[in-house]
Structure 1
Amino acid sequence: MLSGMRPTGSLHLGHYHGVLKNWIKLQQEYECYFFVADWHALTTHYDEREVLGKHVWDLVIDWLACGVNPNLARIFIQSRVPEHAELHLLLSMITPLGWLERVPTYKDQQEKLKEKDLATYGFLGYPLLQSADILIYKADAVPVGEDQVAHVEITREIARRFNHMYGREPDFEERADAAVRKMGKKNAKLYFNLRKRYQEQGDHEALNVAQALLEDQQNITLADRERLFGYLEGSGRSILPEPHALLTPAARMPGLDGQKMSKSYHNTISLREPLDLVEKKIRTMPTDPARVRRSDPGEPTKCPVWEFHKIYSEDDTQEWVLKGCRTAGIGCIECKGPVIEAVQEELRPIQQRIREFEESPEVVRSIVAEGTEAARTVARETMIEVRSSMGLEYR
């Protein structure tokens, strides 16, 4: 599983609830690669050198402080694994221009960021760089929100096109036949029988059984297994497996004004926000406009503060808010009190761990160095396969 973030500024509670909590859960279930997408940051912030450097290390520290565990996940910086750039270049040779131009976020982002000149090759090609990020680790799953599913879909299309063009080796059938023999006489006979039933009769049950048979084989290499999957289906070897989108729960974290929490809306609470400023920001949040005076009853569901209560407050506190607001039994300042305490309580240990990591920069750099080397080991292996399949292996 692979995911990343661009180092373009401070993380806030929206990132924590919408992304990082999910990462912390997924690292228990998948072999995870989490990377700082500094090259991706340059696609829109190419003229702002300050977005890199310190922001990169702050981002890693925030991840660690929130609970991303380097013993369970590989943490690395994109630009320190140059194989990403090589695969991006090679994929650009076979990717139709129209595929990139039709990515929904391409024109959408140009519209939203009118103040920037985004008529650049890098911005047009960023979905392809994203595809390279995913495919180089042969990731099975990519956690995304619904608005990012299109990026995974284009990655699947690119992998399919690559495999179609380069997965059929000149001696493919001879290699596949030799791989089957390695499975032993009994399994080889079963494989050929299942393959015949699927290809001649369209028996999908036979296909499923044959795929399960291949998964259980210990005597064949990963390349042979992928070759036999393709041979089974009448295609070539799957050099770059197609990933699937792992839809993440919709982010529930509202901003201070009731909109989605976003730096663009200036309505965030940063993970590094001083706790006294957290209190000030929440105390000055807008409330139900119907409550002009303390004695006026209100409707909590029309108030941005209620959205915070839904995240941070227990059922009894929520009942207290609903009843107290609708009867004017409590005022807006009283209503905000439990939210202030809960947010501060959540941020306090995170900020303590941030300070600890900032005091030990060598530990953070060591974590990234180890994660980068582990990532490069996998990336190098993929590129050996890619170069060989494209005829770029000269001996």
Structure 2
Amino acid sequence: MSTAEVTSIRPRILTGDTPTGRLHLGHWVGSVEHRVQAQYEYDCFFIIANVHALTTRAEESAAVREDVFQITMDYLAAGIDPQQSVIFLQSEVPAIAELTWYFAMLLPFNRLMRNPTLKTEIELKGLGDHYSFGFPMYAVGQVADILAFRANAVPVGEDQIPHIEMTREVARRFNIVYAGVNPQAGDEAHAEQGVFPIPEAKMGRVSRLSGIDGKAKMSKSLNNAIFLSDTPKQVKKKCGRIFTGRMAADSPGVIEGNPLWEYHDTFNPDKAEVEDMKARYREGKVGDGECKMRLADVINELLEPMRQRRAEFEADPDKVLDVLRDGTRRANVVAEQTLAAAKAAMKFDFLDRKLEF
């Protein structure tokens, strides 16, 4: 592939997912929906971060491999076009690993461990002090994921904002130390004079979608998620399980903090219908069952085209591997260009390096 193939005047996006299972509605409204819309306005690079998955699943590499294919099919089913966007495997882009090492030298350890996202994951997963050295290193790896592609923007959920801020800090630090950018300069100067632009976070339409249990955000591990690949029957069953806190079908219902109405507000395009149902719900004139089944219909309308696209790839798994192979080849071209620029700025460009893609 020539350099010209990946050269563009459009701004660039980098985002992706750690393969820990299939994608759910929280992923859709938090980031994936934006990716589908953005691929015709930006150069989009979508990373399957399979190396990061090993931070807590080092002994489950075969399962991680299967999750790679599941998430790739979720991307394709959701409407990400591999002709417009680059879907690639983290483990097959060696420049990311090398940049991770360089960036680790620019991050004080105490700054890394103050990252609230990292601290929250340690608490939620009950790791205590029993986590591998690789677990905090993955936060540096996320910085490298983004900067390897010199992304201008990163679509993320609310909980990932601290990672983007740390990425911005590292980009500035690298540009100041190795590219001679004035420490007092603004972000525009870094983009023009430095190796790395200063990426911005782009929030999804909904920064945090509650799970059907109403207790926490939607998550596979908490068994409170509606997946993009769920069947119509599974969607109806899960909508029927949505916790509303209502004691009787004819008692006045509460709208605020109720995931049933959070979902209607998020997914039901008929706003007049939603407001009418809310008014009747507050007065006890409509039951949970009717509102939940209407929600199931709305969600199934959203997911049906995804199911059809997913079925095509499930019927021919080689197509999924072809998408990953081509996307990773294209990603390596860009990442190698970035690594070469970074090493030149560091005066570490001793030998020419060429990879066969």
Q: TM-score, normalised by structure 2?
A: 0.84
Partner of 1:119: 131
- Between stretches 95-104 and 113-122, larger displacement belongs to 113-122
> How many angstroms does 1:239 deviate by?
2.0
Aligned pair partner of 1:304 in 259, 284, 298:
259
The 8 Å contact of residues 157 and 208 in structure 2, kept in 1 or not, is answered as no
> How many angstroms does 1:117 deviate by?
6.2
Aligned pair partner of 1:103 in 91, 94, 115:
115
Partner of 1:156: 168
CA distance in 2, matches of 1:254, 1:326: 21
Aligned-partner residue type, residue 242 of structure 1: I
Partner of 1:365: 321
Please state if 1:274 is matched with 2:286: no
User: Per the alignment, do residues 316 and 152 of structure 1 end up closer, same or farther by CA in structure 2, a change over 3 Å counting?
Assistant: closer
Please state whether the residue corresponding to 1:125 is helix, strand or coil. Answer: helix
> How many angstroms does 1:111 deviate by?
1.5
Partner of 1:165: 177
Aligned-partner residue type, residue 350 of structure 1: M
Q: Which has the higher helix share?
A: 1
Indicate the RMSD between aligned Cα atoms, in angstroms. Answer: 2.7
CA distance in 1, matches of 2:251, 2:338: 66
CA distance in 2, matches of 1:391, 1:336: 62
The 8 Å contact of residues 258 and 307 in structure 1, kept in 2 or not, is answered as no
Aligned-partner residue type, residue 264 of structure 2: H
CA distance in 1, matches of 2:167, 2:148: 11
Partner of 2:220: 263
The 8 Å contact of residues 44 and 116 in structure 1, kept in 2 or not, is answered as no
CA distance in 1, matches of 2:258, 2:165: 38
Partner of 1:318: 274
Aligned pair partner of 2:97 in 77, 82, 85:
85
The 8 Å contact of residues 37 and 78 in structure 1, kept in 2 or not, is answered as yes
Identity of aligned residues (%): 37
Partner of 1:219: none
The 8 Å contact of residues 290 and 297 in structure 1, kept in 2 or not, is answered as no
> How many angstroms does 1:10 deviate by?
1.6
The 8 Å contact of residues 44 and 118 in structure 1, kept in 2 or not, is answered as no
Map 1:207-226 → 2, pairs under 5 A: none
Aligned pair partner of 1:244 in 200, 221, 228:
200
Which runs of 5 or more structure 2 residues have no equivalent in the other structure? Answer: 1-12, 352-357
CA distance in 2, matches of 1:274, 1:130: 33
- Between stretches 281-290 and 77-86, larger displacement belongs to 281-290
Partner of 1:188: none
CA distance in 2, matches of 1:302, 1:129: 36
Partner of 2:291: 335
Please state whether the residue corresponding to 1:52 is helix, strand or coil. Answer: helix
> How many angstroms does 1:374 deviate by?
1.0
User: Per the alignment, do residues 281 and 394 of structure 1 end up closer, same or farther by CA in structure 2, a change over 3 Å counting?
Assistant: closer
> How many angstroms does 1:78 deviate by?
0.6
User: Per the alignment, do residues 368 and 287 of structure 1 end up closer, same or farther by CA in structure 2, a change over 3 Å counting?
Assistant: same
> How many angstroms does 1:24 deviate by?
1.0
The 8 Å contact of residues 31 and 203 in structure 2, kept in 1 or not, is answered as no
